[in-house]
Structure 1
Amino acid sequence: MYIKRILLFIAIAVVLILGYMSYTIYGAIFSPNTAFESKSTSIYISKDDNYDSIIKTLNPLLKDTESFIDVAMRKQYQPQTGHFVIRKNMNNNEIVNVLRSQNTPIDITFNNAESLTELSGMLSKQFDSDSLEIYNVFSAKSFLKEKTMTAQQSISLYIPNTYEFYWNAKPEDIQNRLLEQTEKFWNQSREEKRKNLNLSRLEVSVLASIVQKETAKVDERPKVAGVYINRLKRGMKLQADPTVIYALKQKYQKPDTIIRRVLTKDLKIDSPFNTYKYAGLPPAPLIMPDISSIDAVLNYDKHNYLYFVASTTNTGYHIFAKTLREHNRNARQYRRWINQQQIYR
């Protein structure tokens, strides 16, 4: 009888212990374990991260880090690179599953890069690759040779927009995907308009970059584009101030210099980008033009204007003229205004 009581006591104790262990394990695995109030939060795991750095990142997001570590070890979790979204009230089991296999794409955006170096910097801030890794791929001699382009010309190959990517995409994959999107951008309609202008894609990009530099007003860009196309058709020099500014920055190697006024002496700078000195289009875009600028060239306004100058009364816009005499009158008015503003450079 005594032995039976002991055995019964032991049995009850085992059941209680197993019950407690089961409850604890169940809680560790299936109880909510998030400490943030928002609906979700993002975790970025880079190629340089290890198990310890991931736990350090997760720590402020979890109620109980130790229970997460225990579950992660039981599930034999191995770190994977990528962008992962953890939702509020997820349990440890769900969090591990997300980190193991649910790499979520992100939206990346770029615009107005003035060089491959700047473009690489923009992209590196949005991917798990540094700017040098991206630049080395985008500027590879074999790639530029295949495209028969210089590095500066090659910025025309990428269309500024918002794209969906995996955060841990390799530079080669980033480039290939962007090139694929560029081919989609140049659809049949745009290609027909380009051919009617007798311009290559590169030349459209070059002209669009000038238009974009001339006016920040999107609604005015087709009108400005029409002026330059009229000049090209007549064999006139483009005489675009932004090309002179670009040439000056190149000469003095000061790309961040702000030049608000082009002086007469500046027009003499010997550079293929100086459209006061050389006829036709410059050899490369001044900037990566955005879609509105490219479409402004392809859908330029058909008019008889050959000249324009900044308006002194309608900020950001321009006054257009059909004759040089009319333009000179507008230009004198603008010079008087700019002198009154004491803008000398």
Structure 2
Amino acid sequence: MAEKKKRFRKVFGIILLLLFFAGAVVAWIGYQAFMGPSVTDKQEYLYIKTNDTFEDVLHTVTEQQIVKNPTLFRYIADAMEYPDNVKPGRYKLTEGMSNRRLIGNLRGGYQEAVKFRFENIRLKENFAALLGKNFEADSTTFIEILGNEEVAESYGFTSENFFTMFIPNTYEIYWNTAPNKIITRFHDEYNKFWTPDRKEKAAAIGLRPQEVSILASIVKGEALHTDEMPDIAGLYLNRLEKGMLLQADPTVIFANNDFTIRRVLNRHLTIDNPYNTYRYGGLPPGPIMLPSIASIDAVLNHKKHDYIYMCAKDDFSGYHNFARTQAEHLVNARKFQRALTERNIMR
């Protein structure tokens, strides 16, 4: 009898030990599933589109090898009630992140904003393509907005000068933000940029903010060096004041829609286009590119002088020779034309 009890206790002890080890294994697996490293180094961000379901998210996570074990990811997602709480966005991934932390971020919608920076944009199509590359909506949606007369008028612009509303800077915007709200964000920045001081300076030279930006786009097109922008701006303002044609080569290139032109020829000047400032007086109806903040401020803080002519220097330094008379200008122009010919730059 005692022997049986002894055997029973031994078996019972073994069973308890096995149960203990089984529990430890289950606990370890559970810990690893919840808290252990899960996210791989395959992707930097997880993008979840508007209207994506949990199955869509699971497919992305699996196809892009975002987590080591998609089955465990699904198990934890169910446990955390994530399938009913999918939120779109751009979520930062860190190698070794646990399922619990990742799903917690996804469930809470804790996405990382896009740091969107732009400059040196020539056309609306270029800007729309950049927006489409950085945000959920595609470029077609953005180009439709940028070319929409009603949208432009709702912000106080025309379809021609609407492009001047976009101030080159760095913006933090969530990836899945609706396109119309992204445009509103740019408008808010525009209003902040045009401070009372800037508006006062614009009024002092007889220009509206949109016109300042149009002129600034020409200044930017002419200037290779920021420190020369105030001189160039002063020259064009002198021409406007005298009622002279601006005769700005960058506007001719824009009017011809040929940005490979390096040497503006007489045939380029004949195009009948309101952006051709060799034929049409005053400012063109819109910017020839997105002006930089530096070029806008160069117009507002232009250098006061009596120059009305300029020509690129023949040393190809990017700087210009300025002149007060046509005779002086012709001397400078001949030097530059000769330098172009010597370098076989014919168009």
TM-score (norm 1): 0.89
Contact 2:39–2:97 under 8 Å retained in 1: yes
Q: 1:143 aligns with which of 124, 147, 151?
A: 151
Judging changes above 3 Å, is the alpha-carbon distance between structure 1 residues 296 and 129 closer, same or farther for their aligned structure 2 residues?
Answer: same
- In structure 2, the residue matched to 1:54 is 60
Give the number of equivalent residue pairs: 336
| Cα offset, 1:137, TM superposition | 2.9
Q: Does 1:113 align with 2:121?
A: yes
Judging changes above 3 Å, is the alpha-carbon distance between structure 1 residues 144 and 34 closer, same or farther for their aligned structure 2 residues?
Answer: closer
Contact 1:156–1:288 under 8 Å retained in 2: yes
What stretches of structure 2 of length at least 5 have no aligned partner?
Answer: none
Percent identical among aligned pairs is: 36
| Structure 2: distance between partners of 1:20 and 1:342 | 78
| Structure 2: distance between partners of 1:147 and 1:42 | 34
Q: Which moved more, 1:75-84 or 1:143-152?
A: 143-152
Q: 2:209 aligns with which of 183, 187, 201?
A: 201
| SS of alignment partner, residue 164 of structure 1 | strand
Judging changes above 3 Å, is the alpha-carbon distance between structure 1 residues 169 and 107 closer, same or farther for their aligned structure 2 residues?
Answer: same
| Structure 1: distance between partners of 2:273 and 2:21 | 87
Q: 1:318 aligns with which of 317, 320, 339?
A: 320
Q: Does 1:82 align with 2:84?
A: no
Q: Does 1:339 align with 2:345?
A: no
Q: 2:187 aligns with which of 176, 179, 183?
A: 179
| Structure 2: distance between partners of 1:334 and 1:303 | 23
| Structure 2: distance between partners of 1:286 and 1:214 | 11
- In structure 2, the residue matched to 1:232 is 240
- For 2:58, the aligned partner's letter is D
| SS of alignment partner, residue 44 of structure 2 | strand
Encode CA deviations 1:240-299: one digit per residue, 9 max, x unaligned: 1112222222xxxxx5x4111111233233222222222211111111111111111111
Aligned ranges 1:209-288 → 2 under 5 Å = 209-249=217-257, 255=258, 257-288=259-290
- For 1:316, the aligned partner's letter is G
Judging changes above 3 Å, is the alpha-carbon distance between structure 1 residues 58 and 95 closer, same or farther for their aligned structure 2 residues?
Answer: farther
Q: Does 1:94 align with 2:101?
A: yes
Q: Which moved more, 1:202-211 or 1:68-77?
A: 68-77
| Structure 2: distance between partners of 1:316 and 1:193 | 28
Q: 1:42 aligns with which of 39, 45, 52?
A: 45
Q: Which moved more, 1:238-247 or 1:67-76?
A: 67-76
Judging changes above 3 Å, is the alpha-carbon distance between structure 1 residues 34 and 317 closer, same or farther for their aligned structure 2 residues?
Answer: same
Judging changes above 3 Å, is the alpha-carbon distance between structure 1 residues 248 and 36 closer, same or farther for their aligned structure 2 residues?
Answer: closer
| SS of alignment partner, residue 291 of structure 2 | coil
Q: Does 1:70 align with 2:72?
A: no
| Structure 1: distance between partners of 2:97 and 2:345 | 60
Contact 1:86–1:98 under 8 Å retained in 2: no
- In structure 1, the residue matched to 2:302 is 300
Contact 1:116–1:152 under 8 Å retained in 2: no
| Structure 2: distance between partners of 1:312 and 1:291 | 28
| Cα offset, 1:187, TM superposition | 1.0
TM-score (norm 2): 0.89
